[in-house]
Amino acid sequence: MQQEIRNIAIIAHVDHGKTTLVDAMLRQSGVFRENQEITERVMDSNDLEKERGITILSKNLSIHHSGLKINIVDTPGHADFGGEVERVLTMVDSVLLLVDAFDGPMPQTRFVLKKSLDLGLRPIVVINKIDRPGARPDDVVDMVFDLFCELNANEEQLDFPIVYSSAKLGFARFEIDSDNQDLEPLFDTIRDHVPAPTGDPQADFQLLVTSIDYDDYIGRIATGKIFNGRVKAGEQITMIKRDGSVIRGRISKLLGYQGLKQVELETAAAGDIVSIAGFEEIGIGETFAGGENPTALPCINIDEPTLSMNFIVSNSPFAGREGKYVTSRNIRDRLFRELRTNVSLRVEETDNTDTFKVSGRGELHLSILIENMRREGYEFSVSKPEVIFREENGQRVEPLENLTIDVPEEFQGTVIEKLGPRKAEMVAMENLDGVNRLEFVIPARGLIGFRTEFLTDTRGTGVMNHTFHSYGPYRGPIPGRKNGVLIAMEACETVAYGLFGLQDRGILFVGPGVSVYEGMIIGQHAKENDLVVNAGKGKKLTNVRASGSDEAVRLTPPRILSLEQALEFIDDDELVEVTPKSIRLRKKILNANERKKSEKRRNESS
């Protein structure tokens, strides 16, 4: 039975077609009925994943094909969710490396591939989207080989099998010009090149927990791969925690995968990926074991976070109007609950009981957490993201990122000019059909606030991707935001007449009829200084009508900032107020006189 199991993970850069390929494999293995209506990217089950078209959480499924059981793990492509990738790679015996036939290997391909090569896994390379206009599969194979060499792959890993595919059209081929119209070549390659699990079914039971879920009926569920032995539903087993402490318990439910569905199992053996319920407090990286002398498996090592921000209990005049959970206890409980499943997150309590320091792998990692919390009814404020510095050999070092930019030639000069002050260093440049690909190594600090500016400069035509490179020497100060902000003078409802008078002063973030409070940011000032303005100013009425003074007020539509744009925009003395219904920008100190006093004290002390 064990010989007929294959455990693989699908890894790729974001948007290269991982989840679409899984859809095609499910369709051809008969998991779906002929007439069954299915959604696209069926593995992206989370609301945020569907909206953004990206994979955030790794997920498991199992396919039965010609007597072979293939356990597949779909992994995120964003480096911000690298913690998800690192833990699931311990469950598999090989990886499908999916590469776009036009783009070639991208920064996050490098990131995930390095993790799998370091674990000694031998990848299968799938060149996807060969039907795409401008596809260059032969060049991409050469680029993939160069990348393997760069990442110090061993000889066995360099001798990788290659499959050409179009996940969208549902075919795979050994030769590009073949006329095969199904995925049989891919299934054959998995059968022949993925090793069967190596565990011993006769040894004592051992399972490493790699993900945790919760069910209202059966409680906490731990998922992982059985490394050795066998296990039965209802059996008494031991959980060995990270600190070495031991908890005995009984398996209340043993679950496996059949297609996308979880099904109850009576028994499972080495090589199977299963879920176990019956234990209340479970942590990722802990071991379930059986036998008289239970022994723990090595823990999973997860890269450290590179970015942090403060989550603060909202003290805005509008606090509690839109949110259900607003107290420090609510926010603390939610953040510490997130730590159970989000392995690359760190939460620290600070001197102030209303402030929690949350550290993650990047802006996207933290903004997904914020977005999930606001959808659950939480209301709080967050500060500007800050990078985490380290001391190495007495020297201050900071996280550096690999930045890859695809931009039309006409905007290339502007982009390079903007990256100069941000301490970016160009390492490569090539032309791809009229689009220039520029590669830089840039401090993580230099990327904060860059994306919005970049999209404006390239008129939305540029594409940027970045992934963690390494820690390097501190590169000196980076200039912050050049423009000041327009700040509401008092609590009021905005009036079209008042906003019309402010249009010439900068870009507005609010339209008419919006409730604002003193200290709330309502726009970006055209100059460097902050400006306190009256957005509720109405027109004085008189008994006299003049022909020229009653013209219609024409307002430019306001710029509505998304959560990511708001986090990029704010400065050190500002916060983003997040509620289930609104995203507002505000000053930390709301009162104008208090802000002046605080600034004066700061200048005197410096």
Write out the binding residues for GTP: 15-20, 128-131
CB atoms within 10 A of CB 581: 9
Report the alpha-carbon distance of residue 270 to residue 197 in Å, rounded: 7
Binding positions: 15-20, 128-131
Q: Is the four-CA dihedral 375, 305, 100, 456 of positive or negative sign? A: positive
- The answer to whether 4 and 69 are in contact (CB under 8 A) is yes
Q: Say which DSSP state 175 is in.
A: S
In 409-519, at which residue ranges do the beta strands (DSSP E only) sit? 425-432, 435-443, 463-473, 485-488, 492-493, 506-508, 515-516
Rounded CA-CA distance 141/6 in Å is 25
Dump strand ranges (E) for 66-134.
68-74, 94-100, 124-128
Distance CA 220, CA 372 (A): 20
The Cα–Cα gap between 606 and 601 comes to 9
- Non-local CB neighbours of 252 within 8 Å, separated by 6+ positions: 218, 219, 234, 277, 278
Q: Which amino acid is at 223?
A: T
Q: 85, 112 in Cβ contact below 8 A? A: yes
Question: Quick one: angle between helices 107-118 and 137-150, nearest 10?
Answer: 50
CA distance 530 to 414: 27
Name residue, tokens 């704010």.
Answer: 570
| C-alpha R_g of the chain | 27
Q: Which long-range contacts (CB under 8 A, 24 or more apart) does 257-261 make?
A: 257/60, 257/61, 257/62, 257/71, 258/62, 258/64, 259/26, 259/29, 259/31, 259/61, 259/62, 259/63, 260/26, 260/31, 260/42, 260/43, 260/61
- Closest of 278, 294, 282, 283 to residue 238, by C-alpha: 294
360 within 8 A of 80, measured Cβ to Cβ: yes
Q: Do the Cβ atoms of 578 and 370 come closer than 8 Å? A: yes
* CA nearest neighbour of 571 among 593, 589, 559, 591: 589
Cα dihedral 316/322/327/331 (nearest 10)? -110
**Among all chains, which residue has been given the structure tokens 């996940």?**
167
Q: What are the DSSP calls for 372-392, one per residue?
A: HHHHTTB-EEEE--EE--EEE
